[in-house]
Structure formats: structure tokens, C-alpha cells
Structure 1
Amino acid sequence: MKYSPTRSFALSINKKLISVALASVFIISACGEESTSTNGVGFNDSQDTNTDFDQGKLITSIVDKVITPTYQQFSSLASEQQQAISNYCVQESALALGNSSDTLVNDAKVLAKESWQTAMNSWQQAEMMQFSQFLIDGGLRNNIYSWPTKNTCGVDLDVTYFKAGSVNGQPYNIATRTASRKSMVALEFLLFSDNLAHTCTGSTVPTQWNNQTEQYRKVARCEFASEVAADIKNNAIELLTAWQGSDGTGGYAAKLKSAGTVGSDFATQHDAVNKLSDAIFYLDNFTKDSKLAKPLGLFANECGSQACPESVESNFANHSITNITNNLQALKMFMQGSLTAGETDALGFSHYLTDVGDEVTAATINDHLALAIEETKNYQQSLASTLANDSDKVLVTHGDVKNITDKLKSDFITSLALELPKTSAGDND
């Protein structure tokens, strides 16, 4: 996409207007005033669309053709990631003993990094498939991916605890460690950060770490990375089992598909459809706000209220914009009811909107999605570098995503008689 001087000037003015609007919202909130919205919490509550659309088939299609294969894919990739990192560690340890070469080590590390990137692509689609009591409340999601919570000092400390085999006088057990010290976030730091010095600045630091040889620290970090990868693999298996049951026919997936039947957790099929729609508002709260608005300075960040490369999601692997692309791809799957477009027996939210007579909203969301996906794929630099060198481009991306979420928070829920999640009530962006 080419940017004209006129457009760039308009974007700059628009950015200032957004900042003023945000400030006004915060002032109103601070004064204790309440805002009302026809699209807020409780809007369309307990209503239905009163059409003959097969909501049960939509639920089954999204569960069986979107969510289940995504979880299965991530579980498989988590296993491959663990193996690739283990292979890398074998080479790193062998090099320390003089039984390998820099070339073999570097090649193995490249494969380990690629395995993380591939697994992350899958997980970023799964990020759009969260259900509070299923993933979030039990902490399973954070154990796989703790972002935005991260703690590189905690990871540095756990490298030494794992090396020693104990922590606070007890045998080291990664399963009991806090999510910020493990997960895909910690793994990114361990694989992609080339600075071997610890990152702790407080009174608690890894003892004698910086005095160890470079090879000792590389091996220690790699060994802990392998342990973290094994923990992610175990959590991915736990996720898949909880979702589809031990035999592939039960779990939370079966609860969604049995909606409206006697003894079901969901009184009606429409309640289950609402649960599925809740998940896609990740795009509003996280993709738009945390991954784009915050680094742009539209919300407070580490730099105050200005463009801040340090605030991007994946700053070690420079994977931030690819993560956003995958979030958008996941919404596309929900809209079409399958991983790929054109499956004749698939039913997604686009079909539901068309059935209730709102083809315009279905087409608008899909058009905005296609534009946003193309925009994010066309970045020539990382999101952090683009923020530093051309923040207006990131502002365009934010606007593209906002066009989608604005439509989701208005015509989408109105036409389908769905209830807006509490986290997306109101429009403060």
C-alpha cells in the first residue's frame, strides 16, 4: 500500500484526535459518570433471532472444523518444537565437550527457532478460541502463553534453579512454577535473545551467572528451554484432552454441541453460539488494544503515551505482526465455519448473518478482514521497527482492525441477537 503525503497528514491529525478522545473518556470515567450503549452488557440478553437457521450445525461446524483441528495442530507442533529444541541442546552440549561444530550448533538452533515460530503461528489462532472456565480460569492458557505477563529475570533465575535441580530447598518442578517463568513467552526469550547476561536488576540475581563461561550459559539456557518446551507439550496435551475428551468425543466440545438438550450446560443452542461469539472479541481487547493501540501510544505504555517499540508483543523474535495476522486468520475461520473457505457443508457466522437478512454486515466484516490480513502481511519490517520508523503505517493497521471490531460490537451482535462480552462493553477506543 502506498502512502500519499495527504494521507500521512490526515493520519497524523487523526492520531491526535484519537488521543484527545481517549483523554476525554478517561476524564469522564474518573469523575464516576456512567456511559450507556445500545450494544452494552445485557443488550439482546436471552433473545434469539427467531429464524429457522440451524444453530446446532453452526456450533458443530465451528467446533469440529475450526477449534478442534486448531488445538490438534498446536499439540502436534508443540511436540515437534520440544524435539527440535532437544536436538539443538544435544549439539550445544556436544560442542562444550568438543564433539560438535559451530555449524552444526547454528543449524540446530535455526531449526529450534523455526519450530517456535511455527508453533506460535498455530497458537495465535488458538488465542481466538478461549473460553473463560475452560482455558483462562484454570490457568492453562497462561501456562502455554503467559503474554502480556512476562518476566525475563524470573526466567534467568529458573535457568539456574533448574541447573541446580532445586529451588528453595525443594526439588525443581516446572509444573509448579509461575507462568511468567515458562510458556512460549519464556521460550522466545531463551531462543532468540543473544545477550547471555542475566536481566535481573533487583537484589535477587542468579548467583555467579555472569562469571560463567559463554558455553556454560548457552548449555544451561538450552537445557532449561528444553524443559520449558516439554512443559508446553504437556499443557497442549492437557488442553486437547479437556477439549475433546480422552476418546475424542467428550470434553468441552461435546458440551457445546449438546446445547439445548436435557442436562446440557447450555439451556439453548443460542447460548452456545453466544459463547462462541464471545471468544472472537479477543480481537477487540487484545489484538486491537494491547497489540496495536498500546504500542502506538493510544493507551499508556512503557514510554508514556507515544509510539513505543518496547511495548510490542513479541520483541525478541520480532513476530508481533505475524501474530496479528494469525489472530485475523482465526476470525476468518469463525466467519466461514472451517479452516479453509469453500467447504460446502461448513456453517460460520457469515452464513448466520446472511440467513437473518444481513448480508451487508457479513460482506463488510469479510472485506475488512481481507484488507487487514493483506495489510499485516505486507510489512517490510518488524512491528517494533515500523513503529520507530513509520508509526502512521501501524496506525493504519489499527484502523483496519478497529473497522472489524466496531462492526462486531454493533451490527454483528444486533443482527444475531447476541450479548456483548463485558470486556468489550462500551467503546473507549
Structure 2
Amino acid sequence: MSVWAVVALAGLGGCKETKPTPTPEPGGEVQATRTALLGAFGACVVTSARDFQQVAAELETATAALAAQPGDSTRNAARAAYHRAMDAWQILETMQVGPAAPRSMPGGAELRDNIYSWPLVSRCAIEEQLVSRSYESQDFPNSLISRRGLYAVEYLLFYEGTDTACGPTSPIVSGGTWAALSTEEKQARKRAYAAAAAEDVHRRAVQLTEAWEPGKGDFAKTLETAGPGNTVYATSQAGLNSVSDALFYVEQTVKDTKLARPLGLRDCDGDTCPEYLESQFAARSKANVRSNLVGYRRVMEGCGPDFSGVAFDDLLVAVGSEALATKLHERGAAAQAALEAVNESDLVQALDQDKASVRALYDGVKGMTDVLKTELVTVLDLELPQTVEGDND
């Protein structure tokens, strides 16, 4: 089933006030549901990672074809492959647990940042590599994350200008090496660089899938068996906190970075700041948020068709907080509806032509995340991520 069909088929429900439920003794229905949730989440990551690996392979093939035989058809095919890859990746953004997470987190291997490091990106760094052709080096996979990944592929495939974002102190500006490149040479290098970056993305997509797959890294089993004797998660609660932390991507990144900053609600001196939108070259900031919400609902409601399957809502029901589960369903659907009510093709046009619709989207996501960081963490005795603690907006 496509992402669009999954979104369209999601249902609604009613809600009423809930209260915290004490943590039950291990071995009861709640413990069984908690274990099932961790197992279902791991299976969801495996499925989602496999989906991304497939489209990452298609992106590698398409960019290689563009580099070998440039033209409108190969360029359009490479761009279409990029959109498919980002649709799949943005779902995984809400599942940064274990191998995808930073090394400071349990089981972290930083695969996420090596695949897509936004907002830690630099167009200038990419342009400096275009001049030095370091993307041809065997050491390219070890270069800074701002020079690789899906952000680099986006710039290289979609930006057709010949200017540079680098300032006068950059060697490629002060030394005149950027200006010395002809337009044709810049475009040729962009194609070759895109192919190298896409190859690296595909390689890391394979690493991510294998890290979670049964019979290989099997981090899915590590998460499901959280508890005594587990070297990564000493308790099932620790495993649950790890999944909850990943879910807070919608609070920290979607709400605060992808929406609040462009809307001028923070870190912006103007009425709006479209330069803070996520997708500056492929014009898919709205599409990215759409996939983020799908990823969120897979974790909150279930990873199967129509968001079926074991997820956080089932654990809430098991601890006697069915009303909260219903409220979270409603808030997730409301955020999705607010996104679909943005009529423009992307948020850059919406900010200019109908800012109110983008603000309504922000409010919808905030309504969802407010419940996350208050009622959900209280009822399930979860720990807020450190970056969320003290954030009252």
C-alpha cells in the first residue's frame, strides 16, 4: 500500500481525560504488551529500512545513468528516484533508535547523520568539493557528513545555478577556482558527484537494514529482549524510552525546526524565514513533513495497513488509558488533515500565499506533541529527551 493510501485510510475516535497508571509488576499483561511493542517497533524499522534500501539502490542506478549519459530523460529519472528515496527516508526519521541514533545513545552508530545530516548541512562545503573533486577519492565516505548524504544529492540534482554560496574567504572564491570552471564543467562535476554521493547513501542504507535484520545485526531482537542480561537495554523501560525519544523527532525537528523557524516563530527576524525550510532545491518541504507524520503514526498507532498492529496505543490501552490512545489518534489525524489543507505544492509557496495554512499545520503538530510530552510520558513513566526538557512551547 502506498504512503498516500495509508494516510487516507487512517481513522478517528473520541477522547476523554486520563490519569497516570502505576507501573505493573513484570510478567503481567502490561509487560507482555511492552515487549510486543518493542518487537513490533523493531519489525517496523526492518520493513521501513528495506523499503529505503530499495529506493536508495534505484537512486544510485539513476544518478550513475545521468553521469554516464546526461540528458533530460536521465535527469528527470534521477530526480524522480530522489523523491522516492526521500519519501521513504523521511518515514525513518521518526525511528532513530540504535544503529541510526548518535553514538551517545544506546546502540548508536550514527547511520542517520551519514545518510541525511539536515539541518547540519553546508552548500559551500559541497561546492568546495566540486572544485577539488574529492568525491572521486577513496576516502570520500569518510569525509564530513555535510559533504555527503541525501542533502548533497538534492543540491547536485536540483540546483541549476552557477553561483556559489561560499564567502570571499573560501579558497574557491579567493583563489578564483570556482569562477574558472565553465558552466558545462560545473554541471558535469555535479552529475559525477551526485552519483558518488548516491552510491554512499545506498551503501549506508544496506548497513542500516543489516544492522536491524534477523540473522545479521539483529538489533530488532536486542530491542525486543530489553531487560536483565541485555547489554544495551538493561530494562524494558530503557528500551521503551529509546523508542519514545525517537518519536520526539516530531516535536524537536518537525514542529520546532521545519515549521516554527520558517513561520517566524523562533530564530527569525522577519515575518517569515523561507530560507529555513528543509528542502531548498527540490521543493519538497511539505512532502517531507507528510512522510514524517506517516512515520509518527506507524510508531504511535501501528506499522501495518491502515496503521494496524501493536504500537504505543496498545500499551496505553493495556495500562487502562484507552482515552489517551484515542486522543493521540485524533491529534495525529488532525495534524495530517492540517497538512493536506495546505493547498500549495510546497511550503515555500504556502508561506508566501497562505501563511495561515502553514500556521494551522504548526498548530496541528503542536497539538499532537503537547500530548506526547505531557500525558504520554506521565502515563507510561517515560523520560523526556534532554533537549525537550524545559521547552514549554
The answer to whether TM tops 0.5 is yes
Matched, 1:56 2:74: no
Q: What letter corresponds to residue 348 of structure 1 in structure 2?
A: A
The CA deviation string for residues 280-320 of structure 1, in whole angstroms up to 9 with x for no partner, is 0011110000011111111113xx25311111011111111
**Separation in 2 of the partners of 1:89 and 1:127?**
29
Distance in 2 of aligned mates of 1:164 and 1:230: 11
In the TM superposition, 1:189-338 aligns within 5 A as: 189-203=155-169, 204-205=171-172, 207-244=176-213, 247-248=215-216, 250-301=217-268, 304-338=269-303
> Are residues 84 and 327 of structure 1, via their aligned partners in 2, closer, same or farther at CA, if it must alter by over 3 Å?
same
Matches of 2:151 and 2:233 in 1, distance apart?
34
SS of alignment partner, residue 94 of structure 2: coil
Distance 1:225 1:131 in 2: 28
Offset at residue 195 of structure 1 (A): 0.3
Deviation at 1:73, TM superposition (A): 1.1
Which of residues 343, 354, 357 in structure 2 aligns to 1:380? 343
CA distance in 2, matches of 1:419, 1:318: 36
After superposition, give the CA deviation of every residue in 1:112-136 in whole Å (9 maximum; x if it has no partner): 1111111111111111111367532
Match of 1:341 among 306, 316, 339: 306
Q: Offset of 1:223 from its aligned partner?
A: 0.5
Gaps of 5+ in 2: 1-19, 104-108
Length-normalised TM-score, structure 1: 0.79
Q: What is the TM-score with the length of structure 2 in the denominator? A: 0.86
Larger Rg: 1
Residue of 104, 114, 117 corresponding to 1:143: 114
The alpha carbon displacement at 1:225 in A equals 0.6
Give the alignment's Cα RMSD to 1 decimal. Answer: 2.1
CA distance in 1, matches of 2:135, 2:126: 14
Residue in structure 1 matched with residue 381 of structure 2 by the alignment:
417
> Deviations along 1:6-31, whole A, 9 cap, x unmatched?
xxxxxxxxxxxxxxxxxxxxxxxxxx
Residue 341 of structure 1: SS of its match in structure 2?
Answer: helix
Residue pair 2:153, 2:194 contacting (<8 A) in 1 also = yes
**Relative to structure 2, which stretch is displaced further, 196-205 or 358-367?**
196-205
Name the SS for the 1:146 alignment partner. coil
CA shift digits 1:21-50 (9 cap, x unpaired) = xxxxxxxxxxxxxxxxxxxxxxx9xx7345
Whole-Å Cα distance in 2 between the matches of residues 358 and 285 of structure 1?
25
Q: Is the 8 A contact 2:222 2:230 kept in 1?
A: no
Q: Distance in 1 between matches of 2:165 and 2:313?
A: 47
CA distance, structure 1, for counterparts of residue 61 and residue 290 of structure 2: 26
Change (3 A) 1:383 1:242: same
Q: Which residue of 2 aligns with 1:359?
A: 322
Structure 1 residue aligned with 2:93, among 118, 121, 127?
127
Q: Note if contact 1:49-1:417 (Cα within 8 Å) is conserved in structure 2.
A: no
Shift in Å at residue 164 of structure 1?
A: 9.1
Runs of 4+ in 1 over 3 A off after TM superposition: 206-213
User: Which stretch of structure 1 is more off in the superposition, 142-151 or 258-267?
Assistant: 258-267
Distance (Å, rounded) in 2 between the aligned partners of 1:402 and 1:422: 18
Matched, 1:176 2:142: yes
1:340 counterpart letter in structure 2: P
For residues 121-175 of structure 1, what are the alpha-carbon distances to aligned partners after superposition, in whole Å with 9 as ceiling and x for unaligned?
111111111136753224422221110012111111112222795xxxxx56211
Query: In 2, distance between residues paired with 1:213 and 1:228?
Result: 22
What is the one-letter code of the residue matched to 1:186? A
The answer to whether the Cα contact below 8 Å between 2:131 and 2:177 also exists between their aligned partners in 1 is no
